[in-house]
Structure formats: C-alpha cells, structure tokens
Structure 1
Amino acid sequence: MPEIPLFPLNVVLMPGTPLPLHIFEERYKQMVDECLESGGEFGMVLSDDSGTREVGCTASISELVERYDDGRLVILVEGSQRFKLNNILSGGPSGKPYYVGEIEYLQDEEATGDLQALAEENIALLERVVEAATEGSVDIEVEPPYTNLSFGIAGRIEFELDTRQELLEIPTEKGRLERLKELLSEAAERLESTRQATEKAKTNGHLRKDWRPDEQQGGGE
C-alpha cells in the first residue's frame, strides 16, 4: 500500500485545478522542502470539525512562489490524482514530524455513453453563472474525451466544501457532470433572479431616461 506525505486542511483540492498554499508550520515546511527536493507529491484531504475525509487528491508542486527569511513558503500546487485514505501514520520508524497516509489510488470507473451533450450543457450553464455573477465570459475548451472536465468546471465555482468533496468522491466523470449540471442550474437561476431583482430595485422611484411629459400611462387615449 503506497505511503505519501499527508496535508490535512480545510480545503478540497481537485485533479487538474491549481491552488496556492501558504506553508508556515515547521512540520509542513519540512514536508514541502522534501517534496521540492525529490519532485514527489503529497496528499491533501479535507479535515474540519466533522473529521478527516477518506477521499483526497495528490498535490504536485508546480511553483515555489516565495520563500521568506523565517522559512515560511508560498507555493502553487496542482491537483493530480484522487486517492482513498486507508490509514494515517505519524511518527514511527520514519521519524517524520508530519502525517503520512497509507493510500490507494482511485481510477474512474469506465464511462458509459456519449458525454458530449452533457459536457456542452455544463459549459453553457457555467457561462450563465459567470455572466450573471460577473458579466464576464468563460474561456474553456470542450473536447473529447472530457477527462476531468467536471473538476475543471467545479474549480471555477466557489461551491461549499461539502459540495466540492461530494464531487471529488463521485467515481465517474458522467456522474460528476450530471451532479454538476444540477448544481450549476440552481446557481444560474439563483444568480439571475438576484440580478433581475437588483436591476429592478435600481429603477424604483426613478423616471426612465427616455420618459417624456406627454407620455400617457396605460397606453390609452
């Protein structure tokens, strides 16, 4: 059973998505330095008041952004591969000050059916969410075989941690895209409704810019 350095944190990392990390604890500074030297990865798992989850994602350090004089580090990592955490080790013969996890890597179950329509629906919904929230647009490629497209989309939305963890644990890309479609539909409708209400509120009690004194109310004569 593989063993990897473990970084429990109140964060959900997803495959293919970037994440900046500020490392200040001595044990994790050592862990990061060892990974930088060896080129190895460490595992990230969501840990909060509800405990440590069983499914996490390995993190590959893509950039050492800054190293401060006191040893603190700012790094940029990218999610690599989902894993199941079977056991957490600390101390022991290795003498490591940080946690080590006994894990098994998770592979997606074989996809069934054509994902193209489902993928395009999710992209369209993401466009709606981004437009309603920021009036911006989305630049994301949609090409077969859509591997980890769900994580790429979810990484652009600030879902609650439990929702992100739910998506991480779904064992198929089709299942993740189906769940994501539900989440994005709800978010788009909520944001669009809020935006319409805000725009309507801005006009209450104010004359339209194109209003003329001779206009008749109701359109009658």
Structure 2
Amino acid sequence: MPGVYRKTLDLPLVIPVFPLDGALLLPGGQLPLNIFEPRYLNMLDDAMSGERMIGMVQTRPGGDASRPALAPIGCAGRVTSFAETSDGRYLITLTGVARFKLGEELPARTPYRQVRADFTPFDLDLREDQQETAGDAAPLLNALRRYLDHRGLAIDWSEAQAAPSDALINSLAMALPFDPLEKQALLEARTLADRRSTLVALLEIDAAQDDDEPPSVQ
C-alpha cells in the first residue's frame, strides 16, 4: 500500500502475528478473515486502536499446539474492512503491505503473540514502480489450464488473459488450495518472476498427479 507506507521505516517495529496455515497474504492482495477466537478478537481490538497492522504467518514443526513454531517469513497486512456480527465475530479484510522477517518474539503480555518485524529485506514490496515484471504469461496460463482440466474446474479465460501479470500471479497463489509448505514457497519467492516460476511448477506437479496423490513440492 504505497499510498500509506512509502518506505520500510514507516512500518511498525513490533506487530501482532496471526498464525494460520494455508492462508496466504501477499503484498497488494486482499485476504478476508472470520475472527472468533477470544485472543484474536483481542488482537483486532488492539490493532484497530493503533496501526491496524497484523502479520500473517504460517507455522512449522516444533513448539506445541497452543504455541507452535513460526515460519521465518510472514506478510503484514492492514485492516481495510471491518464488521462485527451479532454473535461477536469480526469479519475483516487484510490488504497486504509488505513481507517481513520474523525477529525476536516479545514476552507474552497479551493473549496473542507479537514479534519484532524486519521489513528491510522486502523494501521492494512498497515500491510498485520498481517491482520486476513477471515476464511472459503464456507458461502460467498453459499450466493453469492443465491444472483446471485435471481438477474438472473452469474459469473465465477472458478475464485471466486480460489480468495484469502481478494480479494474476498473486491472486492464484493466494486462492488455489496448495499445502502450507507450498504457500510458504510462494510467499518467500524473491521476485514476482520467481513467484511465477514457483506457481507454474506447482500447477504442473498437481496436473501430473493421480487423483489420489496430493501435490507436493520439496
């Protein structure tokens, strides 16, 4: 969101994190969330009274069920839509701002977890005019067609072909049902071109699998 944050120094040094496997947020993307756990309701209350910033992060092996180990890279998003339901849930939309490297986790003074966030490796996420282009869209569209045919799905191809490369790559990466490790690989791809290559590989692996074998990338 370059209109709000123009450089990494504008971003908060400490952010709350929401560990949620399989939920991928990318810079510029929009992620709807249904918040109902008390600790995350508390997190939203605090976020809405401050920077409205939340770090989405996946887990990795280690820790325990209530406090799992966290992946080393996450993506911070700003709450851009907020509604409360009659039964006390929060329906929000996070708009991706920038990826961050997880630093020290702060001692628990809140029911949710907070970390020091290092945005400096990902300053390009804030600079739309200097982001690298994804390159030729044909390999991605061809791989997507094979993936959809394999799964018996269909999309509006005219919209897919007309979509800007970055929007198409990021929307597919966020929406398609890849496993958490694959989602993390898409998040950590250094450039948009790298993310496209990773996405194409994942689509081709899935299309080559038998129906009873889940796709996987090592």
What is the TM-score when the length of structure 1 is the normalising length? 0.69
Taking the aligned partners of 1:13 and 1:135, their CA distance within structure 2 comes to 21
The yes-or-no answer on 1:160 pairing with 2:160 is no
- Residue aligning to 1:72: 89
1:97-147 CA distances to partner (integer Å, 9 max, x unpaired)? 3222101112359877x7432x3321232233224424412433443xx44
Q: Do 2:13 and 2:118's aligned partners in 1 also have CA atoms closer than 8 Å?
A: yes
Partner residue, 1:127: 145
Shift of 1:160: 0.8
Q: 1:107 aligns to what SS in structure 2? A: helix
Q: 1:155 to 1:134 in 2, by over 3 A?
A: farther
**Residues 120 and 142 of structure 1 are in contact (CA less than 8 Å); yes or no, is this contact kept in structure 2?**
no
Which deviations, in whole Å up to 9, do the C-alpha atoms of 1:82-109 show, x marking residues without a partner?
Answer: 1110111134xxx443222101112359
For the pair 1:151 / 2:170, whether they are aligned, the reply is yes
C-alpha RMSD of matched pairs (Å)? 2.8
Once the two structures are TM-superposed, the CA of residue 13 in structure 1 deviates from its matched residue by 2.1
> Is contact 1:127-1:137 (8 Å) kept?
no
Aligned pair partner of 2:102 in 77, 85, 95? 85
Between the two structures, name the one with larger relative contact order (CA 8 Å, sep ≥ 6).
2
User: Is residue 25–residue 31 contact of structure 2 (8 Å, CA) maintained in 1?
Assistant: no
Q: Which has the larger radius of gyration?
A: 1
Q: Would the alpha carbon gap of residues 111 and 20 (structure 1) be closer, same or farther in structure 2, given more than 3 Å must change?
A: closer
Q: Please, which runs of 5 or more residues in structure 1 have no aligned partner?
A: 195-221
Residue 52 in structure 1 maps to residue 64 in structure 2? no
Instruction: Indicate conservation of the 8 Å contact 2:18/2:57, yes or no.
Output: yes
Paired residue for 2:41, among 11, 17, 29?
A: 29
Q: TM-score, normalised by structure 2?
A: 0.70
How many pairs were matched up? Answer: 184
Equivalent residue letter for 1:52: L
The 8 Å contact of residues 126 and 153 in structure 1, kept in 2 or not, is answered as no
**Identical positions, percent:** 28
Aligned to 2:200: 181
Equivalent residue of 2:107, what SS?
strand
Note the C-alpha offset of 1:35. 2.4
1:145-185 deviation digits (Å, cap 9, x = unpaired): x4464322212311111011011112122222112221112
Give the one of 13, 16, 20 matched to 1:5.
Answer: 16
**Partner residue, 1:198:** none
**Is residue 20–residue 59 contact of structure 2 (8 Å, CA) maintained in 1?**
yes
Alignment partner, residue 212 of structure 1: none
Change (3 A) 1:9 1:156: closer
The Cα of 1:65 is off from its aligned counterpart by 4.2
Q: Describe the shift of the 1:185–1:156 C-alpha distance in structure 2 as closer, same or farther (beyond 3 A).
A: same
What is the alpha-carbon distance in structure 2 between the residues aligned to residue 11 and residue 185 of structure 1? 20
Are 1:86 and 1:101, in contact at CA under 8 Å, matched by a contact in 2?
yes
Q: Secondary structure at the match of 1:84?
A: strand
- Residue 135 and residue 26 in structure 1: after superposition, are their counterparts in 2 closer, same or farther (change >3 A)? closer
Query: Which amino acid in 2 is paired with 1:154?
Result: A
1:169 corresponds to 2:188: yes
Letter in 1 for 2:99: R
